[in-house]
Chains A and B, each alone.
Chain A
Amino acid sequence: MTASASAEALAPSRLRRGATRSGARIFVDAAFSVLLFVGTIVGVVALATLLWTIVDDGWARLMADPAAFLSNYVSRLPARAGIKAALIGSAYLMVLTTLFCFPVGVGAAIYLEEFAPRNRVTNFVETNISNLAGVPSVVYGLLGLGIFARFLRMGPSLLAGALTLAVMSLPVIIVAAREAIRAVPESIRLGAYALGATKWQTVRRQVLPAALPGTLTGTILALSRAIGETAPLLVIGLPIVIFSLPNDLRDPVSALPLLIFDWTSRPQPAFAEAAAAASIVLLALLLAMNAVAIYLRNRYTIRW
């Protein structure tokens, strides 16, 4: 029940409609309810319009020859253009990014929740992490450009892209993992200590397994944010026109949102259709990832 409804239920019934039954007040109440509904609906309608625009513009293009669209490289001819390099590139980036940021993020979360003493250093680290969560993605791109691509001489490569996305996703994963760890009741830990387990043993055998579903859910959500990000990859300089797949960490790689950006910027209407078709693929990918995350959350979260 809403907070308001429960309070309302407690008020005596004859007062619920207001002490005075003035027509003006009833009208204003009704108008306000309508306003609320409209205000809420606008957001929903906007989302629906957005999805409809994308699907309407891109469906025909995608369905005309889905196999070709997915397995062709880009081309100067919009009819021949495909998303192969971009899609595989995004997949590679995602796997590599996870490899980098999952262990580090979960490690940091475990430390902060289970081992860190409550002192100034810990506070500083925690404030730092929540500040990092609010840094715009384009600034992470500059970090990637300045340090990974230039200073460490990785160039616009798979490695540089993945590291940049990993660094960007780190704060989000730390927060999600911390929440999952925090949700494990103290009684579990106390029980383990009572049986003589050390802190790490408790964490490794009791807390972590229990926190794993929540952590995984949060990680998948963080990653689905990451693959939709264009700005950091654009700033590092990942290519859009590329006709081969990466064989090596140092090879250049493309990404789906970059491709959508490029095609959207082209004036030919046929490329706008292609951009919409690519957007459908990206959205489908995100939908799948989120569905997995929600499934994990519902199926495996232990409700204490």
Chain B
Amino acid sequence: MSIAKRSSRTGERVVVGALFACAVLSIAVTVGIVAVLVVDAVAFFRESSLFDFLTGTVWAPGQGSGEGGLYGVLPLINGTLMIGVGAIVVGLPLGVLTAIYLSEYASARIRGLLKPTLEILAGIPTVIVGYFALQFVTPSLLRPIFGEDQVFVFNAAAGSIAVGLMILPIIASISEDAMRSVPASLREAAFGLGSTKRQVSLRVVVPAALSGIAASVILAFSRAVGETMAVTIAAGNSPKMTLNYFTSIQTLTASIAQTVSGEASAGTVRYNALFALGLTLFAITLVMNLISARIVRRFRQVYS
């Protein structure tokens, strides 16, 4: 509620109008994204059946005769989920442990050192993390441990580790915020009953912060699903239905990257397939972000 004088000066009206336009531009951006994706995806589905897209288990554009090709998206979804789950397997325990440490155990000085470190980790460009996965994780970590015959040169495990490292800061920082918001009274009560720090952390704080942690996981998963460069470099470009983390796979994002590096002649089925993939990706991340936001809103209500 404002007690400011509503200005009748036209100059001001114009300015406010311009500012309003800036804000509304964001709507234009969303409209643009949806329009671009939908229009070209529809063009794609006119040539290639939607049913085959959603249920086909082979992604081989240009395979078969001439313009025909196999456009089943399931192998790509398989690859994307493998990376997403793998990244969570790496990032969730490390992130939550870090969050507990930062929130319950660490001194102010250590926090002052750790938090910037996490920010740095979050800020490393994804190409560089991809390089690290290809040049270090696979040859010096995975192959020595699991055997050179078992681990393909491009593999999902290296991709998962890379993406896991990238989402660790997200999980750690949001979970830590959630834990810090747990009222002191809950802890005090537990201590009063004779609990140790560990018991308070594990049995009081974490359960109380659970929705915040859950929201961070969903957000992190969404981020992992949208990650492009690290997986393109390290996880390979072979779409296949598999659960073997040591072989090469292809994610939705890597497929988009590969198609644009190859051929992207406007109007062809292959070009339009890009947008079908983009639409799928957009839909998945949008749904996850909405769920995460809903959880955050709910958990904020509980404590405020």
Contacts and interface: CB of A to CB of B under 8 A. Distances in A.
A234 B103 contact: no
Nearest to A282: B125
A11 interface: yes
B246 to A, nearest CB: 20
A138 B293 CA distance: 22
Interface in B171-208: 172, 179-180, 182, 184, 187-188, 190-192, 194-198, 200-202, 205
Nearest to B104: A4
Nearest to A144: B36
Given A174-B26, A230-B229, A279-B131, A50 B124 contact: yes
A15 B7 contact: no
Interface string B19-36: 111111111011011001
Contact of B97 (A35, A137, A261): A35
A81 interface: no
Nearest to A272: B135
Interface string B232-267: 110000000000000000000100110011001010
A35 B269 CA distance: 52
Most chain A CB neighbours (cut-off 10 Å) among B98, B225, B229, B286: B229
Contact of A39 (B27, B101, B120): B101
A283 interface: yes
The A contact surface, by secondary structure, is helix
Interface string A113-130: 001100000001101111
Interface in B1-56: 2-7, 9, 12, 15-16, 18-27, 29-30, 32-33, 36-37, 39-40
Nearest to B234: A264
Interface of B: 2-7, 9, 12, 15-16, 18-27, 29-30, 32-33, 36-37, 39-40, 93-94, 96-98, 100-108, 114, 117-118, 120-121, 123-132, 134-136, 165, 168-169, 172, 179-180, 182, 184, 187-188, 190-192, 194-198, 200-202, 205, 219, 222-223, 225-229, 232-233, 253, 256-257, 260-261, 264, 266, 274-275, 278, 281-282, 285-286, 288-290, 293
Interface of A: 1-4, 6-8, 10-11, 15-20, 25, 28-29, 32-33, 35-40, 42-44, 46-47, 49-50, 53-54, 57, 103-105, 107-108, 110-112, 115-116, 124-125, 127-132, 134-143, 145-147, 150, 167, 170-171, 174, 189-190, 193, 196-200, 202, 224-225, 228-231, 234-235, 237, 257, 260-261, 264-265, 272, 275-276, 279, 282-283, 286, 290
